[in-house]
């Protein structure tokens, strides 16, 4: 049985768009961020192991070094909302909650740096954070200075409680300038487009000049339906989003939820494969102190990380949908190509997808020959092929086959 792949879309080439000039995020950011798994749990009396306090980040940092996460590339340990005290100090400075962060943020940053890791913090462009802690509106320069003094390496800047959405652009730009003026290199993670989409299509040329990555769409949840809605939204906006991604600035589809409760192993493989194809930041939100070995191996898979961190820095796109399979490709350095084929039929067992290499929009990678390596669902060297080859992939429901094709000049 042959299914011919109906190719709807050719990956657009990148127009050189100006980038935020801070030398950071030349490949998508990798690290850990507390939000999806730990939310705004401030109940340290009843739940000391999972509440937002300094020990959580210190323990995560310890594990990241001991268990190979840093070595695999996961570098940033990031706090999300709910770290501050409800009031600024007498000088108007943000301060950490004194009960939950008794040593202060500077000490915590020093600890994380002492492990060879980088430290991220969270603030908000508006008058309050999403959880109701002090926002940075009116304090951008002061807060940027405070973060620089503490040794912050990354700022996630949320978009709640901006008085008027037309101020989002100026707010995000002013903070970008304030960070630059501290003289410290601070990676700037924005949510400007996410908050602007409710009113109009954001100007991504401006966003790329201002931020190192930017959230476009809803928060990720620990569920397959959440992953699917993010991926489908990205595919339906790829003409706009793919050209603006590149070294220094990336579209951010939100955290990896691999290793939690909501995704089957096939679905975890799908998230990992698609986040690599989409050149997304790989910010895990899970409990690295207690994670199943299969999830750990998937998150640390060197071959998938190599696709994510490919030096060409081009975001992949969905090239077709056929028979409840979605096909994605991402161009790689040295003329290579990564392909992800997702089985979207949540019914029945594994289904075969016959891929005719000559029908790919980037079929030239196999002309005259290419070397095919399957990375997911299991590692398999599939050998040397030409445009005439048909490869059959067996893919579980909501699972993904991830493959690389490497151009071979002479054979």
Residues with active-site annotation = 158, 219
Q: Which of 183, 293, 348, 349 binds ligand NAG (CB under 6 A)?
A: 183
User: Residues 323-362: x/- map of binding to ligand NAG (CB under 6 A)?
Assistant: ----------------------------------------
* Range in contact with ligand NAG (rule: CB under 6 A) among 115-123, 164-172, 290-298, 393-401: 164-172
Tracing tokens 């070995």 back to the chain, one arrives at: 293
* Range in contact with ligand NAG (rule: CB under 6 A) among 85-93, 95-103, 261-269, 384-392: 384-392
The DSSP line for 151-175 is T--EEEEE-TT-SSGGGHHHHHHHH
Q: Is 290 in the site for ligand NAG (CB under 6 A)?
A: no
Q: Is 388 in the site for ligand NAG (CB under 6 A)?
A: yes
Distance set, CA 213 to CA 101, 106, 356 (Å): 28, 25, 35
* Range in contact with ligand NAG (rule: CB under 6 A) among 6-14, 109-117, 178-186, 314-322: 178-186
Phi-psi region of 199 (alpha: psi -120 to 50; beta: other; left: phi over 0): alpha
* Residue 102: count of CB within 10 angstroms of its CB: 11
Q: Which of 7, 58, 160, 167 binds ligand NAG (CB under 6 A)?
A: 167
Q: Please, which residue, 53 or 369, has the CB nearer to ligand NAG?
A: 369
**Sign of torsion over alpha carbons 291, 65, 303, 378:** negative
Spatial CA neighbour of 182 closest among 153, 211, 214: 153
* Range in contact with ligand NAG (rule: CB under 6 A) among 53-61, 167-175, 273-281, 307-315: 167-175
Helix, strand, or coil (residue 76): strand
Q: Which of 49, 114, 166, 185 binds ligand NAG (CB under 6 A)?
A: 185
Shortest distance (Å) from residue 170 CB to ligand NAG: 4
Shortest distance (Å) from residue 361 CB to ligand NAG: 18
Q: Is 368 in the site for ligand NAG (CB under 6 A)?
A: yes
Distance set, CA 223 to CA 30, 218, 362 (Å): 21, 13, 32
Q: Is 205 in the site for ligand NAG (CB under 6 A)?
A: yes
| Binding footprint of ligand NAG, residue count (CB under 6 A) | 19
Q: Please, which residue, 209 or 265, has the CB nearer to ligand NAG?
A: 209
Spatial CA neighbour of 288 closest among 67, 48, 38: 67
Q: Which of 8, 170, 292, 333 binds ligand NAG (CB under 6 A)?
A: 170
Sheet holding 337-343, edge to edge: 317-322, 325-331, 337-343, 400-408, 369-376, 380-385
The residues pairing with 166 across neighbouring beta strands, listed in sequence order, are: none
Q: Is 384 in the site for ligand NAG (CB under 6 A)?
A: yes
Q: How far is CA 407 from the centre of its chain?
A: 28
Contact 81, 35 (CB under 8 A): yes
Q: Please, which residue, 271 or 308, has the CB nearer to ligand NAG?
A: 308
Q: Which of 149, 206, 219, 232 binds ligand NAG (CB under 6 A)?
A: 206
Tracing tokens 């569920």 back to the chain, one arrives at: 223
Q: Which of 142, 229, 309, 373 binds ligand NAG (CB under 6 A)?
A: 373
Helical (H) or strand (E) element with 253: none
Separation of first and last alpha carbons in the chain = 30
Q: Please, which residue, 128 or 384, has the CB nearer to ligand NAG?
A: 384
* Spatial distance between the Cα atoms of 313 and 269, rounded to a whole number of angstroms: 22
Q: Please, which residue, 215 or 369, has the CB nearer to ligand NAG?
A: 369
Spatial CA neighbour of 363 closest among 345, 387, 336, 380: 387
Q: Is 174 in the site for ligand NAG (CB under 6 A)?
A: yes
Q: Please, which residue, 303 or 321, has the CB nearer to ligand NAG?
A: 303
What's the longest Cα–Cα distance across the chain? 74
| φ, ψ (nearest 5 deg) of residue 256 | -80, 130
Q: Is 135 in the site for ligand NAG (CB under 6 A)?
A: no
Q: Which of 91, 381, 392, 410 binds ligand NAG (CB under 6 A)?
A: 381
Query: HSE-up of 74 (CA within 13 Å, CB side)?
Result: 27
Residues 7-66 that bind ligand NAG (CB under 6 A): 21-22
Shortest distance (Å) from residue 214 CB to ligand NAG: 14
Q: Is 180 in the site for ligand NAG (CB under 6 A)?
A: yes
Residues making contact with ligand NAG (CB under 6 A): 21-22, 167, 170-171, 174, 180, 183, 185, 203, 205-206, 368, 371, 373, 381, 384, 386, 388
């Amino acid at each position: 049985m042959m299914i011919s792949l109906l190719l709807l879309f050719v990956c657009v080439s990148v127009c050189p768009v100006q980038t935020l000039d801070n030398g950071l995020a030349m490949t998508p950011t990798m690290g850990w961020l507390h939000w999806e798994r730990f939310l705004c749990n401030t109940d340290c009396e009843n739940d000391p192991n999972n509440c937002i306090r300094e020990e959580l980040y210190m323990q995560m940092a310890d594990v990241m070094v001991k268990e190979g996460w840093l070595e695999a590339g996961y570098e940033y340990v990031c706090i999300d909302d709910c770290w501050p005290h409800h009031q600024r100090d007498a000088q108007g400075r943000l301060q950490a909650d004194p009960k939950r962060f008794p040593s202060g943020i500077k000490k915590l940053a020093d600890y994380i740096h002492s492990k060879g890791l980088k430290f991220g913090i969270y603030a908000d462009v508006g008058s309050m954070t999403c959880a109701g802690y002090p926002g940075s509106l009116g304090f951008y320069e002061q807060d940027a200075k405070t973060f620089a003094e503490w040794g912050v390496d990354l700022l996630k800047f949320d978009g709640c409680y901006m008085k008027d959405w037309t101020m989002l652009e100026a707010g995000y730009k002013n903070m970008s300038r304030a960070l630059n003026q501290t003289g410290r290199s601070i990676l700037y993670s924005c949510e400007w487009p996410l908050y602007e989409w409710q009113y109009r299509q954001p100007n991504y040329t401006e966003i790329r000049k201002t931020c190192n990555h930017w959230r476009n769409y809803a928060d990720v949840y620990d569920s397959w339906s959440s992953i699917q809605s993010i991926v489908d939204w990205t595919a339906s906006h790829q003409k706009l989003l793919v050209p603006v991604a590149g070294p220094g600035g990336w579209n951010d589809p939100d955290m990896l939820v691999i290793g939690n409760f909501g995704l089957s192993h096939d679905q975890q493989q799908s998230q990992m494969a698609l986040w690599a194809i989409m050149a997304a930041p790989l910010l895990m939100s899970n409990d690295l102190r207690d994670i199943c070995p299969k999830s750990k191996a998937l998150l640390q898979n060197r071959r998938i990380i190599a696709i994510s961190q490919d030096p060409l820095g081009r975001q992949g796109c969905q090239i077709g949908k056929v028979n409840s399979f979605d096909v994605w490709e991402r161009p790689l350095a040295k003329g290579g190509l990564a392909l992800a084929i997702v089985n979207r039929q949540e019914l029945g067992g594994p289904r075969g997808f016959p891929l005719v290499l000559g029908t790919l929009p980037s079929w030239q990678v196999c002309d005259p020959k290419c070397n095919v390596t399957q990375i997911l669902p299991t590692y398999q060297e599939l050998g040397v092929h030409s445009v005439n080859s048909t490869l059959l992939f067996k893919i579980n429901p909501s699972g993904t086959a991830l493959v690389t094709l490497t151009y071979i000049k002479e054979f």
